[in-house]
Amino acid sequence: MKKLLLLLAAATLWLSAAGTEAAQGDRFTLKTVTGKQLHMVGLDNGLLVEEHKGKVVFIEFWGTHCPPCLISIPHYIDLQAKYKDKLAIVAIEVQATPEAMLKQFVQAKGINYDVIAHENAQAFIDYMTVRTGWQNSIPFLIILDQEGNFVTSHVGMAPQEALEDLIRRLDELHGKKSAAAPAPAKSAATPTATPAAKQ
């Protein structure tokens, strides 16, 4: 619990689109090193990754020459495997490692989550810098809930225990919201056939 509180206390402010140069509804299409496309839409208080809607999303800015980033990779691999139905990790490399080299790096490390090269994400990086006030320190982690709402962010290595606790808590909250949502109204039954009138 203490580690979770420290993680939340380290949060930076997500700036409302209304108060920045960024606009709500801004859209980005990013290509991962494996060729998959991710479609992202700016929200007033967050970011929706359309392919991962319904999951907690970790967006990490990291680099292949950043020691704490490299130490974090096995932890993220474990988290992605353990919570594959509840979590999506998107790692954006910001130290300008060429895409071909980054693809080899991902394969060599056995990374099981989405990785995007700097060259394919510059506009998105600029956008997120405006929205989060990021100061270029890495690793930098942004956490979004299942609807894309900003939850917290963290500079430096985040304790795996705290991240797991946060995933479980967000999953629990999401389950309660889903259970409390009103059921869709049932339409009146329509007869499949009308009896013929008696002669």
Report the 10 Å Cβ neighbour count for 21: 10
Structure tokens at 106: 């991902």
CA distance 49 to 29: 10
In degrees and rounded to multiples of 5, residue 157 shows phi and psi of: -70, 130
- Residue 6: predicted pLDDT: 45
- What value does the mean pLDDT take over residues 63-81? 97
pLDDT at 104 over 90: yes
The bridge status of strand 46-49 relative to strand 37-43 is antiparallel
CA distance 122 to 119: 6
**pLDDT-above-90 percentage for the chain:** 71
Would you list the domain boundaries of the chain? 2-174
Most confident of 12-16, 25-29, 59-63: 59-63
pLDDT at 122 over 50: yes
Distance between alpha carbon 53 and the CA centroid of its chain, in Å? 9
pLDDT at 87 over 80: yes
- What value does the mean pLDDT take over residues 11-33? 67
CA distance 65 to 68: 9
Tell me the CATH class for 2-174: alpha beta
- Residue 129: predicted pLDDT: 92
- Residue 74: predicted pLDDT: 97
pLDDT at 4 over 90: no
Crossing angle of helices 2-9 and 160-180, in 10° steps, is: 80
pLDDT at 2 over 60: no
pLDDT digits (tens, 9 = 90+) for 144-195: 999 999 999 999 999 999 999 999 999 999 887 767 666 555 544 444 443 4
- Residue 182: predicted pLDDT: 62
CA atoms within 13 A on the CB side of 85: 1
- Residue 174: predicted pLDDT: 87
